[in-house]
Amino acid sequence: MHIEVNNRPIEAQAGETILAALRRAGVSVPTLCHMEGLLPSGACRICAVEVEGQRSLIPACSYPVAEGMKIRTHSPRAVAARRTIIELLLSNHPDDCLYCVRNTSCQLQTLAAEHGVTQRRFSGLRSNHTIDISGPALGRDPAKCILCGKCVRECEEVQSVAAIDFIGRGSATRVGPAFNEGLNLSSCILCGQCVMVCPTGALFEQSHLRQVMAAIQDPEMTVVIQHAPAVSVTLAEAFGLPPGQDMAGTMTAALRRLGFDQVFDTSFSADLTIMEEASELVQRLTSGGILPMMTSCSPGWIKFMEEFYPDMLGHLSTCKSPQQMLGAVIKSYWAPRQGLDPTKVFSVAVMPCTAKKFEASRPEMVHDGVADIDAVLTTRELVQLIRMHGLDMLALPPEPADRPFGERSTAGKLFGGSGGVMEAAIRTACFLVTGKDPEALEVEAVRGLHGVKQTRVKVGELELGVAVVSGLGNARKLVEQVRAGRDDLHFIEVMTCPGGCIAGGGQLLGVDRAGLERRLAGLYAIDAAGAVRMSHHNEAVAELYREFLGQPLGERSHHLLHTHYHRRDVVK
Amino acid sequence: MRETLIDPCCDACWHGPAEFCNDLLRCLASGPCCHDSASCAQERQRRRQALRRDVVERPTIFVGTGTCGLGAGAARTLEAIQAWLLEHDRRADVVEVGCIGMCSVEPLVEVQLPGRTRVCFQHVTERTVPGLLEKALAGEMPAESVLGQHRHERLQPWSGVPYLDEHPFFAPQTRWVLANCGIIDPSDLDEYLAWGGYRALAKVLADMTPAEVCRAVELSGLRGRGGGGFPTGRKWSIANGRPGPQKYLVCNADEGDPGAFMDRAVIEGDPHRLLEGMAIAAYAIGASKAYVYIRAEYPLAIRRLVHAIGEAKTRGLLGERILGTDFHLEIVIKQGAGAFVCGEETALLHSIEGRRGMPRPRPPFPAQAGLFGKPTVINNVETLANVPAILDHGPEWFASVGTAGSKGTKVFALSGKITRTGLVEVAMGTTLREIVFDIGGGIPDGKAYKAVQIGGPSGGCIPLQHLDIQIDYESLKTVGAMMGSGGLVVMDEATCMVDVAKFFMDFIQRESCGKCIPCREGTRRMLEILQAITRARRNESGFDALQRFQGVMALEQLAEVIKDTSLCGLGQSAPNPVLSTLRYFRDEYEAHIYDRKCPARACSELLTYSIDVERCVGCGLCLKACPAQAILGTPKSPHYIVAEKCISCGSCVTVCRPKAVRVE
């Protein structure tokens, strides 16, 4: 199909939207409400283009191309309309860009600058809304909301949580949880995907930077930090380096310069998780436990199950997540061995995740008044901390992490992407069942960004049905199937965010699918080049069992590394 | 209990309310057809006549108890009538009917004595009931309250009583859709049947294919009466041509325009006409399920509709195997919570689906993928109510009335500054002047006509120089207005057009669904600009005056962008109140902006008050009445108003006996 854009012919495919054709041809039209992969909503109207023969401007995001269509994307009429729309948004927007969490990364700000909006043409009443910081990990400032609806759609159509929706009508329309209550009473699972799609500062994480900086400054405190597998393959993007590059060494060096006393790697406790979780799976398989077993590393998913499927909680692995496992062994094992009082150890985690902030605050994660984890920073907060301290990430020499919890297998590192837990667990489960390492380590069927991946794997004599899902909309469908009696599955990996932790709600903003693929490729490259590629070969983990824990699923493990779940009643 | 048409006429008649016959309608009209009997035919004829009130055996009193009548006090009138009958031990049938349309003289009561024509009385309140009944039942029609008598060829007319169809309100009308409104008992299916009801449906089911029905409606030239004016037959053909076992018909009864009540009156007065139209439409497009989306603020209409659907079902006119054919139709009533935007097709569909009523981009159009993703036809109440007559009398009959592009009739709700408000139905091509001055009786209180607002908030204002424009989809567009659903609000010289624009913009910005930016934010800013130019300088602060000027300069550009970029039809037409008033009344805007005066003296903040020293007697009443202490003066000498303190409340004008306070 041939269409003409700005007097130049381009090829288009029948059935696609004008926007799709324009993007392929490299013609840029701004959008605020467009979401790749979802049906167009047509709310923002900023992508309006002029189409010959049409009375009014046409939204490129939702209008299908037609043979011979003549489009002008930047005619004076279209540009003036876009500009007016931006001015209208600004007329109802707080003028506090300098104090905004999204200052310099706000799409509205960028668009206003690009369109040369330097004068206030419209002024009048602004919608008056209060900030909601009731949620344990996320906050909302509805005054900054431009009602593009992306958060609503992400929450409902992608995550199937539907914690927020539009309320009211006319200029009083706003986005909020049911009955305009606080997020803390809603079904919000704190995944932070809404933050990722929000074009402005209307949604943000509750920052822990202040507590962390105070702890670093406290001479009595020993501050330890752990970083999640997905962080090191993401950080590069913030400093102008290609996505997917592993920055673990540089990051460790930076963290030390920021004042952290010990730098550990969450991939270590991912290995520990695998030891426990693979053992639990084998135990369930051999002793008739509840199957399929579902992973429990992703705290948003846990809250989702507690809210929507309390009857299915028995399917969840009782293993704590790697963050919490490492937190627990730091305070109960490492601190005493160092001669430190656990209450004087401040344990920080850098996570690609906002729900981890919530997880760290769960009452189950506190023992005798000592929390496993004291503060959680997102990747974004880490970048801010690095910038605040003026560290030149391009010039820092890489450094190794601290022992003993800096040692990891590359299986643990794979946790950063969807399918990683599954792959690591299969490697170790094979060893647990047969006593031998598997011949082929890669399980291609569970790799990649697809939301639903299913396959059958041989573990010794056993053939297991396994499924890997990411994005809770996909997870919900699978849980429904299991609830309805589907019985060909034994083990299911669920990650809350579509694509896994590399696409987590605490990650850098503005990444596209290609960027995610680079991050994932980064993880696979680390695994391919790894010296130790199976969790059960992690010497530090083996030592921890020898010295302290005893054996997987043992008494100490049960106490420190496992948890329980409970039904949650929320407004939904 | 009243006898019905369905009751068996003799022992040969096997059907009854529980067991109906597929030839029912033919039998009712010219039966019996299953057995040959002159006496039975006569019996049928007699029942038909009784139901049509061609023959009444005892006095019959009709009370118009539509929502409009009830608002005027018809419920109390009805009670008083029943009490009077009881008290005087007079036997008479009391029938509640819909509205004949003349809302300004309600409550309306009609009296029919045996053998005589039906006489309509106006303004019958509970106080005037005894006097009226006393005389009327005695055969004396009190001239002061008579509105007119119905014409009937076989009944003896009253001398000295004018005919209703010669009344200036009714004479120019062509009442097709409203034919039965106010005449028949809307809660009695048999009355509708006796007037030829469901005859068209029976004919369609027996003799026509769905495509033929679509073709007939297309030939008739019927266009959407909800405002858009899309050819109805073509809409049906598109849906009929879509494959798939499940399709839907939706009747849009979400009448949201301020001042519009056409759909309500049709449903309240003649619900079966709508149901018959829906059944024909559903057959034509191949739908077996239909929805009526009606606002919950219409409780009476909903009640009558529910009752009518129940009646039709028990007679096999709805439900399974309608009239013995393979055609099924289930009609579901879906009550809307009263959002203006739910009149927009896609928002309405979302609302039926149980989601928030917000429009979505088109294409795909509802006829391709509508309700629950299935092909869906959405028609307005009036459109569907036109359908039975088209198929009964043929498309040529329908097309014989109207203009080249607009056929048939259009119902309007006439309101505002006009002598006779009410519901009128005129042939397409009738001029606005006829509607306003002949039917409506012109402007009351000797004031001059200024404009008529047509088409609701999305429509436009038509000034004096275009009053001779014909009612026609296209011609109305040439003067910046649109047909709309049928609201006609008349404005006189005391109406300020900036104020009118402000009223409609306020309505639109409150009723915007909030989805798309231009409509949500833009209409609010437009309203604020209008508010600013009607605000007194003394109520402005800081840079308000500068902003007012800037706003005015942006007003038109803003209107263009909203029109150009909004998501749905409501948003695209949202700036119309401003664009249309600006087009014809720019001078009024300029007077507000530059002279700070309201020529119509409607914008109270812009009025200035002063005292005529020649007239003032120094009585001091105004000084005492002024709540703002803005009046100075000593007794017996002329007083003075301090303009800066005056809050334009008008108290001084009210108390001043020598009329010395000037308002400009």
Asked if B360 reaches chain A (Cβ–Cβ under 8 Å), the answer is yes
State residue A401 phi and psi, 5-degree precision. -75, 170
Sheet with A8-11: strands ordered across: A8-11, A2-5, A70-72, A48-51, A58-59
- Same domain for B472 and B490, yes or no, is yes
Taking the Cβ of residue B510 and every Cβ of chain A, the question of whether any pair is shorter than 8 Å is answered with yes
* CATH 3.40.50.1780 applies to domain A210-561: yes
d(CA B48, CA B472): 38
Chain B residues within an 8 Å CB radius of A167 = none
Residues (pLDDT < 50) of chain A are none
Chain B residues lying within 8 Å of A166, measured CB to CB: 356, 358, 514-515
Using an 8 Å Cβ cutoff, are A363 and A372 in contact? no
Spatial neighbors of B374 by CB under 8 A, at least 6 apart, are: B244, B246, B247, B248
Task: Give the containing element (helix H, strand E) for B136.
Answer: helix B129-137
How many C-beta atoms lie closer than 10 Å to residue B330's C-beta? 15
Please answer yes or no on whether A45 and B514 come within 8 Å at the CB atom: no
Window 85-124 of A, Cβ < 8 Å to B: 85, 88-89, 91-92, 121-124
What CATH number does the domain containing B308 carry?
Answer: 3.40.50.11540
Q: Could you tell me if B586 and B593 are in contact, meaning their C-beta atoms sit under 8 angstroms apart?
A: no
Q: How close A106 gets to chain B, by Cα (Å)?
A: 18
- Residue written as tokens 């068209």? B200
DSSP A56: S
Question: Chain B residue with minimal CA distance to A174?
Answer: B514
Write out chain B residues lying below 8 Å of A58, CB-based: none
Structure tokens at B500: 């009118």
Q: Report the residue from A56, A85, A172 with minimal CB separation from B517.
A: A85
Here the CATH number for the domain that contains residue B99 is 3.40.30.10
In angstroms, the CA B331 to CA B280 distance is 13
Indicate which of B510, B517, B519, B540 best probes the interface with A, i.e. most A CBs within 10 Å of its own CB. B517
What CATH number corresponds to the domain at position B619? 3.30.70.20
Task: Please state the pTM of the whole predicted model.
Answer: 0.91
Q: How far is CA B423 from CA A88, A380, B245, B301, B382, in A?
A: 41, 65, 40, 16, 13
Number of helices (H), then strands (E), belonging to chain B: the values are 25, 18
Same structural domain, B219 and B356: yes
Which residues of A form the catalytic set?
A: 277, 280, 297, 317, 356, 359, 364, 501
A41 to chain B: closest CA residue: B360
- What does pLDDT average to in each consecutive run of 10 residues of chain B (664 residues)? 68 66 71 75 84 90 94 95 94 93 93 94 94 92 92 91 94 94 93 91 93 96 90 95 92 90 94 97 96 95 96 91 92 92 93 94 91 95 96 96 94 94 95 95 94 89 94 91 89 94 93 94 94 85 80 90 94 92 93 90 88 92 93 92 87 92 89
Provide, as residue numbers in chain B, all residues whose Cβ is less than 8 Å from the Cβ of A92: 521, 524
Q: What pLDDT, on the 0 to 100 scale, is given for residue B16?
A: 64
Q: Is the domain of B115 the same as that of B78? A: yes
B-chain CB neighbours of A62 within 8 Å are 361
Domain ranges of chain A: 2-74, 89-205, 210-561
Contacts B358 to A, Cβ<8 Å:
166
What is the rounded CA–CA span in Å between residue A163 and residue A151? 10
CB pairs under 8 A between A and B: 115
CA distance B572 to chain A (A): 9
- Provide the ipTM: 0.90
A88–B564 C-beta distance less than 8 A: no
Q: Which of B339, B361, B557 sits opposite A62 (nearest CB)?
A: B361
Q: Which of A42, A64, A172 is the closest to B567 by Cβ?
A: A42
Distance CA A35, CA A199 (A): 12
Domains A2-74 and A210-561 agree in fold = no
Quote the pLDDT of residue A545.
Answer: 96
- Whether residue A112 contacts residue A90, with contact meaning beta carbons closer than 8 Å, is answered with yes
Residues B72 and B148 in one domain: yes
Q: What share of chain A is helix, strand, coil (3-state, %, to 5)?
A: 40, 15, 40
- Shared domain check, B572 and B454: no
Helix (H) / strand (E) containing B506 = helix B497-511
Q: How far apart are the first and last CA of chain B?
A: 66
Return the H-helix or E-strand segment holding A151. Answer: helix A150-153
For residue B643, the tally of other CB atoms under 10 A from its CB is 12
pLDDT of residue B1: 46
Can you name the residues that pair with B656 across neighbouring β-strands? none
Q: What is the CATH number of the domain that holds B504?
A: 1.20.1440.230
Chain B nearest-CA residue for A56: B564
List Cα–Cα distances, B641 to B446, B631, B659, B663, in angstroms. 32, 4, 14, 12
A44 touches B at CB < 8 Å? yes
Q: How far apart are CA A147 and CA B217, in angstroms?
A: 43
Give the Cβ contact number of residue B316 at 10 Å: 17
B552 touches chain A (CB under 8 A): no
Cβ under 8 Å to A: B residues 521-540? 521-525, 528
Enter the tokens of residue A234.
Answer: 């993401």
CA distance B623 to B606: 21
Mutate to test the interface with A, among B340, B512, B565, B568 (most CBs of A within 10 A): B565
DSSP string, B61-97: EEEE-SHHHHHHTHHHHHHHHHHHHHHTT---EEEEE
Find all residues with CB under 8 Å of B349, minimum gap 6, and list them: B250, B366, B370, B371, B376, B378
CA-based max dimension of chain B: 99
The set of residues, in sequence order, having a beta carbon less than 8 Å from that of A196 and lying 6+ positions away, is: A154, A503, A505, A507, A509
> How distant is the Cα of B363 from the closest Cα of chain A, in angstroms?
7
> For residue A560, with 0-12 CB atoms within 10 Å meaning exposed, 13-18 middle and 19 or more buried, which class applies?
buried
Nearest CA in chain A to B532: A124
Domain range enclosing B132 = 60-166
Residue B84, amino acid: W
> What is the separation of C-alpha B31 from the centre of its chain, rounded to a whole number of angstroms?
37
| CB proximity B520 to A under 8 Å | yes
A50 contacts in chain B (CB < 8 Å)? none
Contact present, B135 and B122 (Cβ < 8 Å): no
State how far the Cα of A552 lies from the Cα of A547, in Å rounded to an integer. 13
Structure tokens at B267: 């449903």
Clarify whether residues B575 and B491 are in a common domain: no
B94 and B115 assigned to the same domain: yes
Show which of B352, B368, B399 is a domain's final residue. Answer: B399
Look up tokens 């992407």; give the residue.
A417
The answer to whether B554 contacts A57, with C-beta atoms less than 8 Å apart, is no
Same domain, B382 and B428: no
Pair B244, B374 in one domain: yes
**Cβ pair B513:A121 closer than 8 A:** no
Would B212 be classed as within a structural domain?
A: yes
3-class secondary structure, B147: strand
- CATH number for the domain formed by residue range(s) A2-74: 3.10.20.740
Residue B255 contacts residue B265 (beta carbons within 8 Å): no
Last residue of a domain, one of B445, B462, B495: B495
Predicted confidence at residue B2, as pLDDT, reads 62
The bridge status of strand A491-495 relative to strand A293-294 is parallel
Residue pair A79/A94 in contact (Cβ under 8 Å)? The answer is no
**Nearest Cα to Cα of residue B360 among A155, A62, A170:** A62
- Residue B567 contacts A, CB cutoff 8 Å: yes
pLDDT at B226: 86
The whole-number pLDDT of residue B35 equals 73
Q: Are residues B491 and B502 in the same domain?
A: no
Residue B14 belongs to some domain of the structure: no
Q: Find chain A residues with C-beta within 8 A of B569's C-beta.
A: none
SS3 B460: strand
Looking at the partner chain, which of B517, B520, B564 has a beta carbon nearest the beta carbon of A170?
B520
Question: Are residue B263 and residue B308 in the same domain, yes or no?
Answer: yes
- Which pLDDT score is estimated for B20? 64
Check CB contact of B566 with chain A, cutoff 8 Å.
yes
Confirm whether B181 is domain-assigned: no
Nearest chain B Cα distance for residue A59, angstroms: 8
Q: Number of structural domains, chain B? A: 5
State how far residue A375 is from chain B, nearest Cα, in angstroms: 38
B25 in any annotated domain: no
Q: How many CA atoms lie within 13 A of B221 on its CB side?
A: 17
A43·B518 Cβ contact <8 A: no
Total length of chain B: 664
Burial class (CB in 10 A: 0-12, 13-18, 19+), B266: buried
What pLDDT is recorded for position B233? Answer: 95
Query: Where do the H-state alpha helices sit in A298-456?
Result: 299-308, 322-329, 335-337, 355-360, 379-388, 410-413, 420-434
Instruction: Return phi, psi of residue B642, to 5°.
Output: -85, 110
CA B29 centroid distance within chain: 32
* Chain A CB contacts of B566 below 8 Å: 45
Q: Is A146 on the interface with B (CB under 8 A)?
A: yes
Interface contact flag, B510 A169, Cβ < 8 Å = yes
Q: Which residue has the tokens 């500068």?
A: B546
- Residue A550 zone, left/alpha/beta (φ > 0; ψ -120 to 50; rest): left
What letter would DSSP give residue A290? -
Q: Which two tokens stand for residue B61?
A: 């009193």
Same-domain check for residues B381 and B433 = no
d(CA A438, CA A429) in angstroms, rounded, equals 9
The half-sphere exposure of A419 on its side-chain side, counting CA atoms within 13 A, is 19
Last residue of a domain, one of B151, B166, B181: B166
Domain A89-205: which CATH number of 3.30.70.20, 3.30.420.40, 3.50.30.60, 3.90.230.10: 3.30.70.20
Query: B29 lies in a domain?
Result: no
Interface probe, candidates B482, B508, B509, B521, chain A, greatest A C-beta count within 10 A: B521
